[in-house]
A and B are shown apart, each in its own frame.
Chain A
Amino acid sequence: MNRRDAIQQVALLLGGMISAPAMAGVLGEKTNFGESVPVSAEQEAFLSELADVIIPTTSTPGAKAAGVEKFIVRVMRDCFPKEDQEKFYAGLTKLNTDSRSSFGKSFVELDAAQKIQAVKSLTTNDKAFFLRMKELTVTGYFTSEVGATKALEYLPIPGRFEGCVPLKPGQKAWAL
């Protein structure tokens, strides 16, 4: 049973209408009206490239395809105090500086192998920034539509419960 069918079934069953998720315009809507660090389009693209090194496209699409940078920008802006935001974006800038001094190119201009090398250095040069970036990337990716439905198995309405069944070969983890 897919989601649409399930919703229709509920609607029929209960004789009511389920409001469509009121999502229009929600994503990216600004809710923190306090001070926040402005983020440029270049920084956003940079975050997208970096996230895609942490979770690349394999047999399933990666972080860039999932648009994870939008989640990262939103969560940093709204859920972290300004000093944490400053630290985070300073870490991003520093990664670019290091990239230029090591490879003579900005991070987004590096080839795939160089990007991996740069992130490897990052894990020792700025572990705090790497871990924050990794955490946000992982959460943003596996809760994205691409991550939840392609990299994991997503079942919005299981409809039944079995507590002790064999794990099928190659079975992916449940998204929820």
Chain B
Amino acid sequence: MYLNIDAQKEMTYDAIVVGSGVSGGWAAKELTEKGLRVLMLEKGHKLDHVTGYENAMKDPWQTKYNGRLTVEQKETHPKLSRDYPYNEMSEKYWMNDSDSLYKEVKRFDWYRPNIVGGKSIMWGRQSYRLSDIDFEANLKDGIAVDWPIRYKDIAPWYSYVEKIAGISGEKLGLPQLPDSEFLPPMEMYCVEKEVRKRIEKDFPGRTMTIGRVANLTKPTQFMVDNGRAACQYRNKCALGCPFGAYFSSQSCTLPLAAKTGKLTLRPDSVVTNLIYDENKKKATGVRVVDAVTLEERIFNANLIFVCGSALGTTAILLNSTSNRFPTGFGNDSGELGHNLMDHHFRTGASGTWEGDADKYYFGRRANGIYVPRYRNIGNDKRDYLRGFGYQGGGSRASWQRNVAELSFGADFKEELTKPGPWSMGLGGFGETLPYHENRMYLDPKEKDKWGMPLVVFDAELKENEKKMRVDMANDAAEMLEKAGVKNVKSYDRGSWLGMAIHEMGTARMGRDPKTSVLNGNNQVHACKNVFVTDGACMVSASCVNPSLTYMALTARAVDFAVKERKKGNI
């Protein structure tokens, strides 16, 4: 057999990172900084920092429809157009429905980015640490499996990533929501300050703080030296920030990885499966289909980090079958694809605030307030497990408000040019339990245009979540009313899995290879040179936004992997 040794070398790297989002970016940065030559494979198109954010600096009159979707977009994007993240301005960042084929035994909203940087570009940037209340929850409740790590294992890694990513927030010293290494907090509106005081007075054990957010309120010298500037308070983050003022792969991890000279980034590269060598008992590389030309290629490495976001990663693993792994890569436990979680939300309350007519604000704060979890903590016991936090905030209405329905003319115009009334709202984000039967699997017949079998979702919210939602709506209304907010209305707009875009759990960590896919270092139990550090690894969902945890787990896993590599164990 003829072997082109040079070509083989050219396609061989020290490590391959699949995906360029939050987790992939950190993996690439940490691996390259530790001296490894890294190939990063991203399914989406190239998106250059600053110059690629083509809608970021547009004025409102430079949009065609003020963000509205056209009839054609609604028809061609029946799934993506179910909720707001897909709109006129962000369209290019998401995969087309016609490419993003999947099946729903039960409704599942799958938001798949189509760009380098993945969802780190469009994310909500809310950044919270998990606590031991989260890490011990499964063990205490006797459900699913125990987390193989505790807070002390991850705490130094939270600190490590926070100092590089930049998280702004206020220290509270709460056991259920450990403090981060904070940049200065953003300010609250007057109404929020007052509501906070009243909640703290009337509801001992509850508090309200400014959102902990990955926007640079005051960048460190290190951040400035890396081309990042302070937040300009434009509130257009999701379009990409030309100031590099919030954490994204483009603003933070990719430039640092590139600086080492050891990163090769390959966009338009759809990884379909890992290649397993039965003799070496290791993964030797990945198979890639070019997103545009559909050409196939193999890339080799002795270390593979799969960071394709929970569902993307799990699809790749399920599609990586071999004699050793007939039902999916590392799937000795049979748990791969199971325990699918997301947060449930879209329930809470809001009302009007009659004070502060003489108060206003300057700038557009890309952040809200946060009420840390208080349910099922300490002596509080509910008829459901776990808890929820609230995100929300005050706002002062502008021209969008509804004034007298049938009015028009000079007075009507004059009225709309003045600031309107204040309002205040709280929306819950609740923990979803890891149910074995909530799962994704691959369709045995149908494939997408890159030859990937279609993902099928069969997952739903159950009794525990439904009971929690009652509290989420009622508590919000009760707190707002007590705080003096008027016309308080609670709501439940319904929540479907996938919608919060916090997918988790489908290749969970655990101590026992018989009941989990990954060990406590995010390493596949049954294949030592493959790591998974995105949301797939989560053992329980907590109720806090998860991305910061992926950053910390990724940095921690790379540290472990490189040490093992040096010892010759990988």
Complex CA distance for A148 and B61, rounded to whole angstroms: 9
Q: Report Cα–Cα, A169/B409, bound state, in Å.
A: 23
Q: How far is the CB of A145 from chain B (nearest CB, A)?
A: 5
Is the beta-carbon distance between A18 and B362 smaller than 8 angstroms? no
B63, B243, B406, B418: the one within 8 Å of A13 (CB):
B243
A56 with B61, Cβ < 8 A, contacts A79-B68, A167-B359 known = no
Taking the complex as formed, is B560 at the interface, i.e. its CB lies under 8 A from any CB of chain A? no
Whether the Cβ atoms of A171 and B419 lie closer than 8 Å is yes
Residue-wise interface mask of B (205-235) relative to A, using a CB-CB cutoff of 8 A (1 in contact, 0 not): 0000000000000000000000101011111
B418 contacts which chain A residues (CB < 8 A)?
172-173
Contact B61 A165 (CB under 8 A): no
- Which of A14, A17, A123 lies in contact with B244, CB distance below 8 A? A14
Q: Which of A10, A60, A167 contacts B358 (CB 8 A)?
A: A167
With contacts A31-B70, A138-B416 taken as known, whether A174 is within 8 angstroms of B398 at the C-beta atoms is yes
Tell yes or no: B334 within 8 A of A by CB: no
Cβ 8 A contact of A176, one of B244, B364, B414, B417: B364
Contact surface of B with A, Cβ cutoff 8 Å: 49-51, 54, 57-66, 68-72, 186-190, 192-193, 227, 229, 231-235, 242-244, 357-365, 398-399, 405-406, 408-410, 412-414, 416-420
Q: How close is A39's CB to chain B, nearest CB, in angstroms?
A: 16
Q: Which residues of B contact A27 (CB under 8 A)?
A: 64
Which A residues form the contact surface with B (CB < 8 A)? Answer: 3, 6-7, 10, 13-19, 21-23, 26-27, 29, 31-34, 53-56, 58, 60, 62, 71, 74-75, 78-81, 116, 119, 123, 127, 130-131, 134, 138-140, 142-145, 148, 151-152, 154-168, 171-176
> If the complex has contacts A16-B50, A54-B408, A74-B65, are A173 and B363 also in contact, measured as CB distance less than 8 A?
no
User: Chain B contact residues: over half helix, strand or loop, or mixed?
Assistant: loop
Query: In the complex the two chains form, is B57's CB within 8 Å of A173's CB?
Result: no
Q: Is the CB of A161 within 8 A of B361?
A: yes
- Contact between chains at A54 and B409 (CB < 8 Å): yes
Cβ–Cβ < 8 Å partners of B64 in chain A: 26-27, 29, 31, 74, 78
Q: Known: A79-B69, A151-B413. Is A165-B62 also a contact (CB below 8 A)?
A: no
Q: A165 with B242: in contact, given A21-B62, A158-B234, A176-B60 (CB under 8 Å)? A: no
B409 adjacent to A56 (CB under 8 Å): yes
- Determine the chain B residues whose CB is within 8 A of the CB of A10 once the complex forms: 50, 229, 242-243
How long is the Cα–Cα vector from A66 to B418 in the complex, in angstroms?
A: 19
Chain B: which residue is nearest A16 at the CB level? Answer: B50
Q: Are A157 and B232 in contact (CB under 8 A)?
A: yes
Contacts of A164 in B (CB 8 A): 187-190, 193, 359, 361
Q: Is B408's CB under 8 angstroms from A58's CB?
A: no
Q: Are B242 and A79 touching (Cβ within 8 A)?
A: no
A113–chain B nearest beta-carbon distance, Å: 11
Q: A138-B399, A173-B419 are in contact. Are A18 and B50 (CB under 8 A)?
A: yes
Alpha-carbon distance between A124 and B421 when the two chains are bound, in angstroms: 28
**Chain A residue contacts of B406, Cβ below 8 A:** 123, 127, 130
Most buried by B among A123, A140, A158, A168: A158
Which A residues lie within 8 Å of B232 (CB)? 6, 157-159
Closest chain B CB from A148 CB (angstroms):
6
Taking the nearest CB of chain B, how far is it from the CB of A15, in angstroms? 7
A159 near B233 with CB under 8 A, answer: yes
Question: Least Cβ distance of A88 to chain B in Å?
Answer: 14
Taking CB atoms, residues of chain A closer than 8 Å to B365 are: 161, 163
Residues on B with C-beta less than 8 A from A58 are 410, 413-414
B71 close to A32 (CB less than 8 A): yes
Q: Are B362 and A161 in contact (CB under 8 A)?
A: yes
- B residues in contact with A151, CB < 8 Å: 413, 416-417
Point out the residues of chain B lying under 8 angstroms from A53, CB to CB: 408-409
Contacts known (A19-B54, A134-B408, A164-B193); A158 close to B363, Cβ less than 8 A: yes
**For B234, B235, B365, which residue has the most chain A Cβ atoms within 10 angstroms?**
B234
CB pairs A–B below 8 angstroms (16 shown): A14-B243, A14-B244, A34-B72, A56-B410, A75-B65, A79-B69, A131-B405, A139-B66, A148-B61, A161-B186, A161-B362, A161-B364, A162-B362, A166-B360, A173-B416, A175-B60
